[in-house]
């Protein structure tokens, strides 16, 4: 089986310090490799093709066969990295913790936590009920809510 850590290191090296970044690498028992990338301004198909070619050059098919797929991180997938929260400031998120599930507009994200502006019930909602800050560690899932308005 191909080494996941090696693939992660190479992907990070090839992506560099630019606007594209590695989200996740998955390697199955039968060497199906999926590399998920995201970008501060989105991901183009050519970005996936370029990274796929560079990774392919590092992996020896002669010693072990594999299937390699480089994919753009999907909109319907839960956010995994702090950088993805920053990228999505201004968008609506559905946030689930062990205790609750809320939807609101992402208004701030830093290294430790993020804040959403809630959709308060009633016109006279208290100021403390208008926003909610979460530490990343307490989040079960957070997904961007896709709106066609």
68 closest CA partner among 144, 138, 139, 4: 4
Angle among Cα 88, 93, 95 to the nearest 5 degrees reads: 130
Q: Where are the domains of the chain?
A: 4-72, 82-144
**82-144 CATH:** 2.30.30.100
Tens-binned pLDDT, residue by residue, of the chain (149 aa): 679 999 999 999 999 989 999 999 999 999 999 999 999 999 999 999 999 999 999 998 888 899 999 999 887 889 999 999 999 999 999 999 999 999 999 999 999 999 999 976 555 555 557 899 999 999 999 999 987 76
In the three-class reduction of DSSP (H, G, I as helix; E, B as strand; rest coil), residue 42 is classed as strand
- Write out the H or E segment, with its range, that includes residue 56: helix 45-58
SS3 content of the chain, % helix, strand, coil (to 5): 25, 35, 40
Name the phi and psi angles at 118, rounded to 5.
-75, 160
State the fold for domain 4-72: GMP Synthetase; Chain A, domain 3 (3.30.300)
Please give the angle made by the CA atoms of 137, 139 and 145, to the nearest 5 degrees. 140
């Amino acid at each position: 089986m191909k080494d996941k850590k090696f693939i992660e290191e190479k992907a990070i090296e090839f992506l560099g310090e630019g606007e594209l970044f590695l989200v996740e690498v998955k390697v199955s028992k039968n060497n199906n490799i999926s590399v998920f990338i995201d970008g501060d301004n989105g991901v183009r198909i050519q970005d996936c093709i370029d990274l796929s070619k560079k990774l392919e050059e590092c992996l020896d098919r002669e010693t072990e066969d594999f299937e390699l797929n480089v994919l753009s991180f999907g909109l319907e997938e839960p956010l995994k990295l702090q950088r993805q929260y920053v990228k999505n400031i201004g968008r609506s998120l559905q946030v689930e913790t062990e205790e609750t599930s809320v939807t609101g507009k992402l208004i701030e994200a830093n290294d430790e936590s993020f804040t959403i502006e809630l959709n308060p019930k009633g016109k006279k909602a208290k100021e403390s009920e208008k926003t909610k800050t979460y530490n990343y560690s307490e989040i079960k899932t957070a997904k961007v809510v896709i709106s066609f308005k």
